Structure 1
Amino acid sequence: MNRLTQLAVPVGIVGVIIMLVVPLPAVVLDLLIATNITVALLVLLTTMFVHKPVDFSSFPALVLVLTLFRLALNVSATRLVLLDGYAGKVIDTFGHFVVGGSLIVGLIVFAILLVIQFVVITNGAGRVAEVGARFTLDAMPGKQMAIDADLNSGLIDEDEARRRRAEVHAEADFYGSMDGSSKFVKGDAIAAIIITVVNLIGGFGVGVMQKGMSFSEAVSTYSLLSVGDGLVSQVPALLLSVATGLIVTRATGANDMGSDILRQMGARKLPLRVAGGAALALCLIPDLPKLPFMIAGGLMILASTRAQGDDAEAVAAGAAEAGAAPAAPSEAPEDLAQEAQVDPLGLDLSPDIIDLVDPSAGGDLLQRVKALRRKIAGEIGIVIPPMRTRDDIALPMSTYVVKLFGVEVARGQAPRGHVLAIGDNLATMPGTPTREPVFGLDGKWVPAELRTQAELGGATVVDRTSVITTHISDVVTRHAAQLLGREDVKLLTDVVKRSHPVVVDELVPGQLSLGELQRVLQTLLDESVPIRDLVRIFEAVSLRAQTSKDLDGLVESARAALAPAIVAQSATNGTLHVITFDPRLEQHLLETMRPGELGSVLGLDPDLGQSVLTQLGHLQHSAEEDAFHPVLVCAPQVRAAVRRLLRPSLPTLPVLSYSELAGCSQIRALGTVVPPTMAVPS
């Protein structure tokens, strides 16, 4: 079947070329004229049923093929008229019955059809095609940039971006082709005038001068047939002109032209049935040959029985309706177990702010969350799970809650019709005072219509969706280690294995299990170290695992490999601001280290430990007031234990080892921790 569809149009074009030079019997000409009218009607109906021009991308090529076919019919009809004085029953009927046997009436009807086609339809369609082609080509860069922006923001994936780019190119190709094909239609109208005039003159010449007929006999025999030929050719030409106007006022297929034409024209049952029925209805005209139109109409109706488009659309619509209907809750153990699963990440909204996730109300929170997943993957190297969003009537008004494995970890406000203004000069602004949930800055929820006034007052204005998205990003970043599951680690190792198979094969499972590797990556994330550079992490951990599988040692080896990136994210304008321990205090820390199940810990005296934390808190606060990002630097052997000591009270203070500072050219000391309770030897 595919072979036949590929050969049908090429064979048809070859047949058209043969018609230009080989005489056709009158009965064959009748059949071809009936087919020409029926196909033109089918094309017109098809253009009315497509949803967008790209759905009928083969239309420009089809216009050329049908125009060539119609001109070949004109040549064949002219040959029969001038040689035999008879060109089949169809042309004879159009010349005598349709125009009442009057040459003047026939010429007037022919002229009217030409005016409708040439002056009204073809001229307008040509202009629309020209403007459409220009504007489509001018809009291409903007459409491409929009697709790239959606791809970069994570709203679409690479496959969807590729499909949209192909659609943009197909649309540009279509309108460019239509700009040229409209010239074929206009040229066809001009050719019809010339052919009819030539036939009239030729008919007079043959009848009067060659066969010795009288003037009236020549008019009755030849001129009326010439007008009938012109009318027969103008009816499908007019239909095609209308189809051209329809398609350009409301792009290229993947297969060859013949397959695209037959597949697209036969994709829907309704146009085929209407075209076939119309062809059969023409048999009711008196004296019009019944057999050609019965054959053409029967073939259309037969083809409609093989079309699948309408049935497929009905099935799809039924499936959509079935999907929209609420399904009865299943009592199967598997389904109950699935419902009992806890979502890793969830967002609960009070009912009054559900518009944030309603696209019809302008809500784009879900799209922002999708883009956030791509952003976090690029920043810290993990793919966070999809966020399940629900409404919760138990929440206070304007409240949202972020949950981690079903447990609330963050809460905020996002009152409807308001924006968050952040600044110091908000006392005169109406609204509800609040604190920005991530950075703790003073702010106020002000009515959205006062946004410009707040900006003019020097405030930073943030919409509700941005507030929630930023809050979610902060929660995910702080809890990234908990969100990194065993399946996620398997996915990451599979990705690395595609480009560096030796690294992964050597590490997993030969040296470390997925669980042990998961603990290493979770510890790095817990210390705010991105794990994007998995190749270097795996290589460093693999070397360390040859001698020891101690968690702290594996983490330190990975941090050493990532040292430049770790230092860079804590530096301010290329300078690293450090806090250090007094050497005697550091030696004391080393002496108090004790092994633990989750790594080494410090067995400090409570008073000494509190003194260390107090001094570090003061030094960090002073540095942050000067817009610095301080880090605590200590010996590699004690770094992990110190980090565990600081995490509950100073979670945002990074702890680096001396070995990680190698290559850092700008280092500025901010202070040294020397607890007063330590005895200073003489």
Structure 2
Amino acid sequence: MPAGILTVICLMIVPTPAVLLDVFFVLNIALSVAVLMTAINAGKPLDFSSFPSVLLFTTLLRLALNVASTRVVLVNGHQGGAAAGHVIEAFGAFLVAGNFAVGLFVFMILVIINLVVVTKGAGRVSEVSARFTLDALPGKQMAIDADLAAGLLTADEAKARRREVATEADFYGSMDGASKFVKGDAIAALLILGVNIIAGFALGMISHGLSASDAAQKYITLAVGDALVAQVPALLLSIAAAVIVTRVADSREGQDGDLAGQIGGQLASPSTWLPVTVILGAIGMIPAMPQTIFLPAAALAGWLWHTLGKRAARPPAPPPAEAPADPGRILLEDVSDHTLVTVELGYGLVHLVDQKRGAPLVSRITGVRKQLSQAFGFIVPQFRVRDSLDLAPGDYRIVLGGVPLGAGMVRPDRVLAIDAGEVRDGARIDGEATVDPSFGCPAVWIAPAQRDLAIAEGYLTVDASTVIATQLNQLIADRAQVLFGPDELKAILDAVKEQSAGLVEAVYPTPLALGALTRIFRDLLADGVSIAHPVPILAALAQGVQQTLDHERLVEMIRAELGPLLVGRVCPPGARLPVVTLDVSLESAIVQGLSDPVTGQPVVEPDLARAIGEHVADLIAERGGDAAPIAMVVQPRARRALTALLRLRAPSCLVLSIAELPLSQPIEVISIIGGQGAPAALPAPDPTAHQPEPVLA
């Protein structure tokens, strides 16, 4: 390709012999026919995606030949028709019967066809196609992202489709500009013809002493022949451009590689070179044509057609024969499932994931993944939905890491009407009584026609897909730490590294390896801390690793730095935080009592644990559902044990260590477990004070 460009430039600058001009004229015609045949044989526009560049190079070649032929015509035109080469002489003498006036009219007609009809129409089509393609680009990208989020595409498939959409936009944008090449070429042909006629007529009479009739006969005939030689390939390329831009676009895999390899691969079709062979052979058989040039060129094109045809007909290499399957061999994929969360369906529920029926369960599960990802702060791995012959037709089962978390039964042809406490007294509705599998509320399976009646009576109505998705969300919502792994952490670190590379380097890969860092984030998720904002967590971790590498202490340090965030989840700004504390002797007994030999954490005795849990649960019930959530403030060593204790008995109670309570946070101690009573509310901190005093349990 670089050698071809240099050759074109040399044609414009260096004087070229007439014989060499004949060779390039024949090459120009052959190349134009090959491009036209490739455009016609292309199944889709992107099958010839290199066409804009090909059009540029062929236009440059034709203009370079115009410059070179103009030089030859003006310098040697007084010697006769053969002075400018046999091809120009043949076009000027044979095609127009030696009458330059006829040649002028033929040339003008060709220019009108090319410029007004073909080029103008193709330019308009390419302009509209480019505009519509660019306008549709955001919608196509969003559709790809939606399919990827729904699990309909893999990451590699989504990348290939994005590359295809980008290639299509680039192609039509390039075609919009490339159509101007053809229009400019036609205008340049008119100007070059005018220069050749005027300059040749003047040079013939002034420099060579020819009469007006001789000068007109020699120079104008050669100028018209030169114009026709250039105009015929230009018309072929204009038709090829029109064929490409008017073809309806279709999806196609993107192509890689350099431009020369791309053009060579797309022109290496046997069906392209057979018409080139026939046309060049037919032109070479005309008596007035230079057979010594056309016939060898036709033979070369025929050899290409024969060689490429043999290569295309060659059968592909057979794949290596696979060894017969060993009946005693068991593969890993036969016994392993790499998906953490799996939703198993009975065969009566398979239509809920059928794409032809809209796949309602797939869209619901995708919504659950998005909701959980936003709550947790990381992208939840994809869920797997599969059928199971072990289940009854209407049953389903939710499995996490191979362990069943929950199950239920749905009626896909009915609607579940749930009594969430707002049903009107005395309301009755016909159906099959059941229990909502997610929250245990009484419910009724009703016919879809009764849905409006159930809503009017105060029932909450959901379809079968929503029932499954709701229970899936309810079971997975408090198990974020199980879904979080090194891959999810690596994605978070890579995202933070783009903006805060130094912060990431302060903790990873030294002094904390990926496994140790994953364990810290998992413990934070287990405590209900969202990692949607990883920068404060990593900043606190970067400070903590300067003091210790002990896992438990690092987690406590991070929670202490995130204290305002933890309190802000349950207490509005400026409001008092309702606090429950333990009596000093009771808290000391827990801290100094039995401990787990594996983790070293304190172990609360069963009777004491039940008493504390019942006390907190009763306190929450007395305050009512509209009251602000309460928090239990304890020593750092007792926080993890009491968190696990209250997670089952009073999940709405937030357990904080004294180090996690912000110094400026006003609190209200509403109960002291194990003490004699509850003190009155503490006053709000004085805003004029330099520093508020901490309140210790």
The CA deviation at 1:279 is 3.6
Alignment of 1:243-282 (within 5 A): 243-250=240-247, 261-268=259-266, 270-271=268-269, 274-275=272-273, 278-279=276-277, 281-282=279-280
8 A contact 1:578–1:671 mirrored in 2: no
The CA deviation at 1:266 is 0.5
Alignment of 1:581-592 (within 5 A): 581=581, 583=583, 586-587=586-587, 590=590
Partner of residue 289, structure 1: 290
Query: Do residues 529 (structure 1) and 529 (structure 2) align?
Result: yes
1:567 maps to a residue whose letter is V
1:10 maps to a residue whose letter is I
Distance (whole Å) between structure 1 residues aligned to residue 50 and residue 636 of structure 2 = 70
The CA deviation at 1:444 is 8.3
SS at match of 1:403: strand
Alignment of 1:217-366 (within 5 A): 227-250=224-247, 261-268=259-266, 270-271=268-269, 274-275=272-273, 278-279=276-277, 281-285=279-283, 286-287=285-286, 288-293=289-294, 296=297, 336-343=331-338, 344-354=340-350, 357=353, 362-363=358-359
Once structures 1 and 2 are overlaid, which stretch shifts more, 451-460 or 611-620?
451-460
8 A contact 2:633–2:655 mirrored in 1: yes
SS at match of 1:119: helix
Q: Could you tell me which of 17, 20, 26 is aligned with 1:24?
A: 17
The number of residue pairs the alignment matches comes to 642
Structure 1 residues 525 and 273: alpha-carbon distance in aligned structure 2, compared to 1, 3 A threshold: same
Query: Do residues 404 (structure 1) and 407 (structure 2) align?
Result: no
Partner of residue 253, structure 1: none
Distance (whole Å) between structure 2 residues aligned to residue 306 and residue 593 of structure 1 = 89
The CA deviation at 1:123 is 1.0
Cα deviation digits, residues 499-534 of structure 1 (max 9, x gap): 54554577558xxx958x776654443332345465
8 A contact 1:268–1:304 mirrored in 2: no
Task: Normalising by structure 1, report the TM-score.
Answer: 0.72
Structure 1 residues 272 and 374: alpha-carbon distance in aligned structure 2, compared to 1, 3 A threshold: farther
Partner of residue 661, structure 1: 661
Distance (whole Å) between structure 2 residues aligned to residue 292 and residue 456 of structure 1 = 91
Distance (whole Å) between structure 1 residues aligned to residue 462 and residue 140 of structure 2 = 28
8 A contact 2:91–2:228 mirrored in 1: yes
The CA deviation at 1:234 is 2.4
Structure 1 residues 223 and 434: alpha-carbon distance in aligned structure 2, compared to 1, 3 A threshold: farther
The CA deviation at 1:66 is 2.4
Q: Could you tell me which of 185, 192, 216 is aligned with 1:188?
A: 185
Q: Could you tell me which of 600, 603, 606 is aligned with 2:602?
A: 600
8 A contact 1:272–1:300 mirrored in 2: no
Alignment of 1:632-647 (within 5 A): 632-647=632-647
SS at match of 1:601: coil
Cα deviation digits, residues 23-59 of structure 1 (max 9, x gap): 531x322211111112222333444566766675654
Distance (whole Å) between structure 2 residues aligned to residue 24 and residue 428 of structure 1 = 103
1:32 maps to a residue whose letter is F
Distance (whole Å) between structure 1 residues aligned to residue 119 and residue 430 of structure 2 = 62
Q: Could you tell me which of 38, 59, 64 is aligned with 1:67?
A: 59
Q: What is the root-mean-square deviation in Å for CA atoms of aligned residues?
A: 5.6
Structure 1 residues 578 and 119: alpha-carbon distance in aligned structure 2, compared to 1, 3 A threshold: same
Once structures 1 and 2 are overlaid, which stretch shifts more, 444-453 or 533-542?
444-453
Distance (whole Å) between structure 1 residues aligned to residue 308 and residue 448 of structure 2 = 54
Cα deviation digits, residues 41-86 of structure 1 (max 9, x gap): 2333444566766675654454344233223434544544833223
8 A contact 1:279–1:293 mirrored in 2: no
8 A contact 2:342–2:383 mirrored in 1: yes
Structure 1 residues 593 and 520: alpha-carbon distance in aligned structure 2, compared to 1, 3 A threshold: farther
Cα deviation digits, residues 124-173 of structure 1 (max 9, x gap): 11212333444455556767777888999999999999988887776666
Distance (whole Å) between structure 2 residues aligned to residue 461 and residue 290 of structure 1 = 86
Partner of residue 9, structure 2: 14
1:641 maps to a residue whose letter is A
2:406 maps to a residue whose letter is A
Between Structure 1 and Structure 2, the one with more helix by share is 1
Structure 1 residues 536 and 290: alpha-carbon distance in aligned structure 2, compared to 1, 3 A threshold: same
SS at match of 1:559: helix
Task: Normalising by structure 2, report the TM-score.
Answer: 0.71
The CA deviation at 1:636 is 3.3
Query: Do residues 35 (structure 1) and 27 (structure 2) align?
Result: yes
Once structures 1 and 2 are overlaid, which stretch shifts more, 58-67 or 33-42?
58-67
Once structures 1 and 2 are overlaid, which stretch shifts more, 420-429 or 474-483?
420-429
Distance (whole Å) between structure 2 residues aligned to residue 415 and residue 72 of structure 1 = 77
The CA deviation at 1:391 is 1.9
Once structures 1 and 2 are overlaid, which stretch shifts more, 161-170 or 666-675?
161-170
Alignment of 1:417-456 (within 5 A): none
The CA deviation at 1:620 is 3.1
Q: Could you tell me which of 128, 141, 144 is aligned with 2:125?
A: 128
Gaps of 5+ in 1: 251-258, 678-682
Structure 1 residues 501 and 138: alpha-carbon distance in aligned structure 2, compared to 1, 3 A threshold: closer
Structure 1 residues 374 and 591: alpha-carbon distance in aligned structure 2, compared to 1, 3 A threshold: closer
Cα deviation digits, residues 450-498 of structure 1 (max 9, x gap): 9999999999998877775665454334223344568878998999998
1:88 maps to a residue whose letter is G
Partner of residue 256, structure 1: none
Alignment of 1:484-495 (within 5 A): 484=484
8 A contact 1:401–1:412 mirrored in 2: yes
The CA deviation at 1:268 is 2.8
Distance (whole Å) between structure 1 residues aligned to residue 246 and residue 433 of structure 2 = 54
